[in-house]
Amino acid sequence: MTNTKKVAVVAIGGNSLIKDKQHQSVEDQYEAAKETTYHIADMIEAGWDVAIGHGNGPQVGFILRRSEIANKAEGMHEVPLDVCGADSQGAIGYALQQTLQNWLFQRKINKNVATVITQVLVDREDPAFKNPTKPIGSFMDEAEAKRRERDMNWSVVEDAGRGWRRVVASPQPKEVVELDTVKALINAGVIVITVGGGGIPVIDAGNGDYAGVAAVIDKDFASSLLARQINADLFLISTAVEKVALNYGKPDEKWLDRLTLAEAKQYLAEGKHFAKGSMAPKIQAIIWYLENGGKQALITNPENIGRALKGETGTWIVNE
């Protein structure tokens, strides 16, 4: 990389778009995005160049639901899952891109912001495809579930009394397809929004072509891959907590300021500290980053990004 500035990958969590169940509209999401990009603008003002990754779980859920309702009511064609991912990257990217650009204009920082619709290659032989576990879309009755299983090749499971649901695989990200584009933009000083929702999962169709697959990639894993592939100076995971805790939610909970890579691995292996599906994948994503040449990683919430970068809060995980 020829960029002489320090580059950070910032993975932003669901709380940067949806604050609570009462604030889920597009306008509410825009306001939430605007709050988070204010803090990212602080970072940029302090001299960082940034590649932003983000989640999209609820947003893909909304797109799918609209698609299902329109299909049932009017016979409108449905939107495939990979395309829902692309749609969400566009809409979320738009909110982040516009709000961040506005903050930069206001601060007279002459930088451009761009969203890259990003595909992430997964291995078609990934064991996750043999055991899909990630529930997607609305509940169905058994007849519909069985019909879709037969006609559309869906995997469906019954969810204890609540009905049937589609499940998809969550494979490991192998390569960011648009990596060279992202690097070129960063080298040109552009702030990039990429790997949204973990990226649109694609496989090698066998003849070298890419083909979208119905799967979901963990956004922290995809952001970690990006941070490794661009040799980021910092991997920052912005989420709903200021710090990471040991024995989270238990009477002997202990908030952490600093962890070494070895300590992070040990605590993750102990299994009881970091909840599966929320904090555990973040710690794993950071471990992979640090094991592959990364120097430092940080977990905090959007409002504390500035203070954390000055060393005043957040949980730092360092390679030493």
Binding site for ligand ADP (CB under 6 A): 13-14, 55, 239-241, 244-245, 248, 273-275, 278-279
Q: H or E segment at 298?
A: strand 296-300
CB of 220 to ligand ADP, least distance (A): 6
CB of 244 to ligand ADP, least distance (A): 4
Give me the residue whose beta carbon is nearest to ligand ADP: 13
CA of residue 288 relative to chain centroid, distance? 16
And the tokens for 29? Answer: 């999401």
Among 53, 56, 219, 306, the active-site one is 219
And the tokens for 235? Answer: 């991997």
Which lies closer to ligand ADP via its Cβ, residue 94 or residue 248?
248
Among this protein's residues, is 137 annotated catalytic?
no
Which lies closer to ligand ADP via its Cβ, residue 262 or residue 275?
275
Among this protein's residues, is 301 annotated catalytic?
no
- Tell me which residue of 80, 94, 124, 76 sits closest to 29, measured CA to CA: 94
Among 282, 294, 306, 314, the active-site one is 282
Which lies closer to ligand ADP via its Cβ, residue 184 or residue 275?
275
Cβ-based neighbours of 45, under 8 Å, separated by 6 or more:
107, 109
Among this protein's residues, is 265 annotated catalytic?
no
What is the signed CA dihedral for 286, 291, 295, 301, rounded to 10 degrees?
0
Q: What is the CA radius of gyration of the chain?
A: 20
CB of 95 to ligand ADP, least distance (A): 16
Which lies closer to ligand ADP via its Cβ, residue 55 or residue 85?
55
Among this protein's residues, is 15 annotated catalytic?
yes
Query: Distance between CA 162 and CA 220 in Å, rounded?
Result: 29
CB of 308 to ligand ADP, least distance (A): 14
Among this protein's residues, is 276 annotated catalytic?
no
H helices of 75-172, in order, are: 81-106, 142-152
Catalytic residues: 14-15, 134, 219, 282
